[in-house]
Structure 1
């Protein structure tokens, strides 16, 4: 099943920028949303949903609700019983609201499913089901001005949660939060907020030095140890991971230099970045997750773009460093020495490295028609699935 269906996930965040669910976007090899998604055994379906909505939250692995599009055909499909606790049904805008569909929506609500209305624009027919609707999703790019305010005015009579879709900037996030929206979907959390004259904190300086070391072909274990020793908390957490069951070493490790000898320099550099990202910077957790997933995906597919795996990991992390450190992407090379090829990939998506980064972005964001010919969808799907699980396991090790 996983080999036949392409999946992407888009985070849904609350007013505190905490992730509360993921919309699962999917299609089969023919380019159509697969009705057979729910035709799989309940066990297979549940594994897929858990794999794509699992996260580490406050030190514990959790499965968040999956928001899934339901067209008229799927509306009358027999859904697995487990799904009521794990799935929010997004009734798509092309489903007609009539006596037949209204009765089925009520049956699903009575069975425990949360009901969301997707791409909502008010029609009088909706009055027949609004008492069982939990979430109303509004495309804030499409619905503007008087139409938006008219829709919001109509919804005040009902006990529904408002979700703003396609929120792409922090300014939009703050605006729609003031208008009463409680949930948000879009990549506003990953947009840089450059603050002129902002002092660089100790944690940010350490991260910058780690990233420079990650991409430095002349880096040495002694240089890495010097950077890590500047942040005792980072050093302790890193050594704790190295001595954990994650690596199952035969003896206890007490210094970074020993860890390099036993694990390898490249592996330890990656783990230092994972630990530094996990809970030490003042940024949304979802951004950390997305960057780690992106970096691991780039690492896994790098050979398809004639690149070394470690370079792929570096580019994946650097693709969000402007947001991490609140500096313009154009100024990154002033702080971190980068090759022309890496700069071209980050700034202009040029060269094979740029294609790699663009493919990872496109695949993860459901823009599968923009993929380059250097790899294939199944390779990206496998890399995505492995990267999500790797990120969960890595962050769990970093927090424990």
Structure 2
């Protein structure tokens, strides 16, 4: 798409109407998200799920073999990708690709903003003592606008996705550390420095920590977007 950089709140959230029909291809990606995030899913089951969808298989292998990963050997199968990435990382990247694919009929800024928020929340994780939850924080940012991708209420979507309670609470506006991280990303997008200062204090971060995280997130999202 020739897009390399973005900043700001680029779109107005549409009015979400319950009961609106979801296109078949989006239902297919939602089903993939449901199965990939099942708690008891194992490597073999995940491989079978992804291999059934030629588009996601192609996009995932193309991304993993890009400069974003720089593996020394070419990754030629989903099984090899799962083995190298590990379960949580594999789920993270499949979620990114599935959500991006659901946004084919949406402005590119919607995808980019979701990716930037995901990376922002992920980069915050080790700074607030939550390195072991970095994948959950990533998904919190990634799914923060899934209602706009599907044109369905957030609560209805989350009822069908087996995400952790921490992620669901944050996405529904509850008060937890995932939500605080997400609100920090949103406040930076808006340039709401007063709110951002309060959120930074709640996370225990220094005044100079947010700018490099935010700009790194933008650069990362832009790079992945054009891979």
TM-score interval (norm. to shorter): 0.7 to 0.9
- The answer as to 2:186 corresponding to 1:364 is no
Counterpart residue number, 2:45: 223
Deviations 1:137-160 (A, max 9, x none): xxxxxxxxxxxxxxxxxxxxxxxx
* Displacement of 1:290: 0.3
Pair 1:355–1:223, CA change in 2 (3 A): same
Counterpart residue number, 1:193: 16
Q: Which of 330, 333, 336 is the equivalent residue of 2:158? A: 333
Pair 1:242–1:356, CA change in 2 (3 A): closer
List alignment gaps of at least 5 residues for structure 2: none
Pair 1:63–1:292, CA change in 2 (3 A): closer
Q: Which of 138, 155, 162 is the equivalent residue of 1:313? A: 138
List alignment gaps of at least 5 residues for structure 1: 1-57, 68-184
Q: What is the rounded CA distance, in whole Å, between the counterparts of 1:278 and 1:221 in structure 2?
A: 23
Between 1 and 2, higher relative CO (CA 8 Å, sep ≥ 6) is seen in: 2
- Length, aligned pairs only: 219
TM-score by length of 2: 0.81
Q: Which of 160, 174, 191 is the equivalent residue of 1:349? A: 174
Counterpart residue number, 1:234: 56
* Displacement of 1:356: 1.6
- The answer as to 2:223 corresponding to 1:396 is no
Q: What is the rounded CA distance, in whole Å, between the counterparts of 2:73 and 2:22 in structure 1?
A: 41
Q: What is the rounded CA distance, in whole Å, between the counterparts of 2:114 and 2:189 in structure 1?
A: 12
Moved over 4 A (4+): 61-64
Pair 1:320–1:212, CA change in 2 (3 A): farther
Q: Which of 302, 323, 327 is the equivalent residue of 2:125? A: 302
Pair 1:313–1:290, CA change in 2 (3 A): same
* Displacement of 1:283: 1.4
* Displacement of 1:382: 1.4
Indicate the larger mover: 216-225 or 381-390.
216-225
Counterpart residue number, 2:216: 386
Please identify which structure carries the higher strand content: 1
Indicate the larger mover: 339-348 or 230-239.
339-348
Contact 1:206–1:227 (8 Å) recurs in 2:
no
Contact 2:35–2:49 (8 Å) recurs in 1:
no
Q: What is the rounded CA distance, in whole Å, between the counterparts of 2:175 and 2:31 in structure 1?
A: 24
Contact 1:303–1:309 (8 Å) recurs in 2:
yes
Q: What is the rounded CA distance, in whole Å, between the counterparts of 1:317 and 1:309 in structure 2?
A: 12
* Displacement of 1:237: 2.0
Task: Name the larger-Rg structure.
Answer: 1
* Displacement of 1:265: 3.0
Q: What is the rounded CA distance, in whole Å, between the counterparts of 1:208 and 1:306 in structure 2?
A: 33
Q: Which of 25, 32, 35 is the equivalent residue of 1:202? A: 25
Deviations 1:71-107 (A, max 9, x none): xxxxxxxxxxxxxxxxxxxxxxxxxxxxxxxxxxxxx
Contact 1:294–1:360 (8 Å) recurs in 2:
yes
* Displacement of 1:200: 4.3
